[in-house]
Copies of this chain bind each other. A is one copy, B any other.
Amino acid sequence: MSQLQRRLAEFAKARDWEQYHTPKNLAAALSVEAGELVEIFQWLTPEESGRVMERPETAHRVEDEVADVLSYLLQFCEVLGVDVLKALAAKIERNEKRFPTTGSGHSMK
């Protein structure tokens, strides 16, 4: 993943796009791509949403959008110097304490 992150940074630098890549703009771009992912599912039933990879066109759209989301997430973390894997590991540990396995209900926030 850190290798992909480096390639993305070089890609932006080579095209002189760094000027556009403020944290604010990258966060917005990330949310736009997340919206495009939601769009694929917006009118589907829960069951239909589980079968999106069966049709090649939809499968391709899904792969494209998750790539875009990860791309902007990594670029966002790069410009701010955030270690996203470390942040996620810390979050999982906090959540393991916050939602003990004997508990019930769902509000993972």
Interface residues of A (CB under 8 A from B): 1, 4, 7-8, 11, 14-17, 20, 22-25, 27-32, 34-46, 49-50, 52-53, 62-64, 66-71, 73, 76-77, 79-82, 84-85, 87-92, 95-96, 99, 101, 103-104, 106-108
**Residue of B with least CB distance to A83:** B63
Q: Top 5 A-B pairs ranked by shortest CB distance?
A: A35-B35, A24-B49, A67-B91, A31-B34, A34-B34
Known A-B contacts A46-B46, A91-B71; A66 and B38 likewise in contact (beta carbons under 8 Å): no
Number of copies: 4
- Say whether chain A's binding surface is mostly helix, strand, loop, or mixed: helix
* A-B contact list, 15 entries, CB within 8 Å: A1-B85, A4-B85, A8-B92, A15-B101, A17-B108, A20-B106, A27-B37, A32-B39, A43-B106, A52-B80, A62-B82, A63-B82, A63-B87, A66-B76, A66-B77
